A = this chain, B = another copy of it.
């Protein structure tokens, strides 16, 4: 197999670092580009000395250059606690970062993977959400910098594909967790694990009855790499047959748990855990429920999530407790 030259924007982040590790392991040359806003050097520490690995400290809102076979566009703060710290930068990262990736792909004929998100469905009115669902998003709310930024970057990808023939593939990622996730990302799994490990109160918002689906990061990386490995003609034919012009699939774990179930699952996995659940008011614009329809991914990639919640949580708890 030919060695591929691969660029990962946001490659020092949670998902990016897993992807980098996977691609290095299979023999590719990987360049990680990251501004380290939410990514960290420690996430890629084990790769630093690998001769097939390079790190570039750079902000994707500024153009960059390099000849790559494939570009994975992952750069963007993805948790409310991070993206709301600087909403304008988040929007710029999403839009300008994607634009710079697509411009580079246009010059170099690289294949592009774009990381989209279930957040483009907003607070959905149908369950589960298929790729054809247009979403329900507040354009001027406090989550909009992320949701609308990601929607507009999907639009960029779609239009660069239609107008310039860029080979771009998108995955709308649903809740994903695992080792290397940001401990202070303020999201439910990291919050609960930290609280449980420290024996503190576990904070639930609302009644704790909103449901979420949780995907272990290895399952996601499987899908990403498989999707990018398909020949262009296969991808094109698959989507055209389904009346879709733009290759986009949901990837997530459709098993639903309430937030309360998640808290209980985590407490069970920590021997002697003394935490108890407390309830706080629901934040503004928080989606009540979200669950992926993954039939397209299953058909296209013969992919299904394989890691059960308990197993994924165990590995994540082990990672967190080791870090504490």
Contacts and interface: CB of A to CB of B under 8 A. Distances in A.
Interface stretch (A6-14, A149-157, A230-238): A149-157
Contacts of A144: 155, 158-159
A299 interface: no
State the oligomeric state as a number of copies.
Answer: 2
Interface stretch (A87-95, A178-186, A258-266, A268-276): A87-95
A99 interface: yes
Given A148-B152, A151-B152, A248 B159 contact: no
A311 to B, nearest CB: 34
A134 B145 contact: no
Contacts of A245: 140
Contacts of A95: 95, 152
B159 A88 contact: yes
Interface of A: 86-88, 91-92, 95, 99, 120, 122, 134-142, 144-145, 148-149, 151-152, 154-160, 162-164, 245-246, 248
A87 B134 contact: no
Contacts of A158: 139-141, 144
Given A134-B122, A134-B139, A144-B159, A91 B246 contact: no
Given A155-B149, A246-B140, A163 B99 contact: no
A163 B99 CA distance: 24
Interface of A is mostly: helix
Which of A139, A144, A160 is packed against the most chain B CB atoms within 10 Å? Answer: A139
A138 B152 CA distance: 11
A138 B134 contact: yes
A305 to B, nearest CB: 24
B122 A145 contact: no
B91 A156 contact: yes
Given A134-B139, A136-B134, A138-B134, A91 B151 contact: no
Contacts of A164: 88
A151 B134 contact: no
B154 A139 contact: yes
9 contacts: A87-B159, A87-B162, A87-B163, A91-B159, A134-B137, A135-B137, A139-B151, A140-B246, A145-B159
